[in-house]
Amino acid sequence: MSSLLKWSSLPVAGMVSELKFSVPWGHIAAKAWGSPQGRPVLCLHGWLDNANTFNRLIPLLPKDYCYMAMDFGGHGLSSHRPAGFPYHFLDYVSEVCRVTAALKWSRFTLMGHSLGGSVAGMFSCIFPEMVDKLILVESCGFFPAPQGQDRGPGLDRQRKLNSPLPSRNGPSRSEESDMWLDSKRKVIESLLSLEENKPQPPKVRSPQEALQRLLQANSHLTEESGRILLQRGATEVMGGMVYNRDLRVLTHNQDALTLEQCSRFLREIQASVLMIIAQDGIFNPEKKSQYFVKPLQEAFQSNLKHRFQLAEVTGNHFVHLNEPEVVAGIINAFLKRDQSSKARL
């Protein structure tokens, strides 16, 4: 498992500490706000993002909590996986286990944005006794396969490697099998291709060029939000800066679960669930709602009943970072419901 390597106070407004958790391949980086004795909340960022995605939201949340935002492996300030090892979705779930074990958290709240919400959702199904509240920001807790080709602004970066396009009425079981096999083949071939190419040093970019490239790939980000993510997503070097993310993350290997499987799995969740969907986010278009968003929301509602809350807000996929005040009040009210677990550090 993991061990806590470092807890150091930093002179940043509203932030208590930077932390590192030892893992077999290096470390998982994290940052903490609030009192170590406060009620524990673990925050999980989206694909290709980092812990800074919560920089503007957490200062608006209740002060008597311990908020821990971690960088997934290959993201932010966390170590890259060893050569020859791809990034699997369940690896991110296991990283949550490693971090919470090192913190000795036996019961806590999970808050995830986008991919982080899917990780949080799966963790809550596998380890239901550990999660008392689940907050999904621009996430349905799962991203079932087959995935549509158009994932919305900012997520087209996945290059469709594991996003087979279903027909409008959905593929047959035979088509699903073929698409699943084809997507896995492309992931493997892409990873091997990366390894075969002679390793090149990371490209050095000027700060402005690095920012513009990030904004072009994420049309939902404001310039200010882009700068916040870049602070942790890039490292200053002579002549400019280089991105921190592992290129292998671009071939992110999402385990393909069907909508039916996701609907069955969520029955295991013991936590109260808050799902926040932005009106101009990536899960709002009607064609997506017809495929899995509405069915998943209905499954949450029918199985969790009073434990499920759905909130639709103005804003886009990065509403929590661009306009945190839009979601802060909803999250505050949700957190303040009966909760007795404390962080033990």
- Helix (H), strand (E) at residue 244: none
Give catalytic residue positions: 114
CA nearest neighbour of 107 among 135, 130, 140: 130
Residues whose CB falls within 8 Å of the CB of residue 297, separated by 6 or more in sequence, listed in order: 140, 275, 310
Q: Rg of the chain's alpha carbons, rounded to an integer?
A: 19
> Could you report the per-residue pLDDT of 127-138, keeping only the tens digit for each?
999 999 999 999
Residue 114 φ/ψ, nearest 5 degrees: 55, -120
Distances (CA, A) of 170 to 145, 151, 260: 11, 16, 13
How far apart are alpha carbons 131 and 191 in whole angstroms?
A: 34
Please report the sign of the dihedral spanned by the C-alpha atoms of residue 200, residue 206, residue 210, residue 216.
Answer: negative
The DSSP secondary-structure symbol of 63 reads T
Nearest to 50 by CA among 218, 254, 192: 218
Measured CA distances, 153 to 27, 57, 78, 187, 202 (Å): 31, 22, 26, 22, 25
- pLDDT, one tens digit per residue, over 289-305 is 668 999 999 999 999 99
pLDDT digits (tens, 9 = 90+) for 54-106: 999 999 999 999 999 999 999 999 999 998 888 989 999 999 999 999 999 99
Domain boundaries, the chain: 3-151+253-335
Give the model confidence (pLDDT) of 159-216 as tens digits: 333 443 334 355 666 776 777 678 778 878 877 887 777 667 889 999 999 999 999 9
Pick the CATH number of 3-151+253-335 from 3.40.50.1820, 2.40.50.100, 3.40.50.1970, 3.40.50.720: 3.40.50.1820
Reported as type and span, the H/E element at residue 124 is: helix 115-126
Quick one: CA torsion of 9, 12, 17, 19, rounded to 10 degrees?
-110
Look up the pTM and report it: 0.85
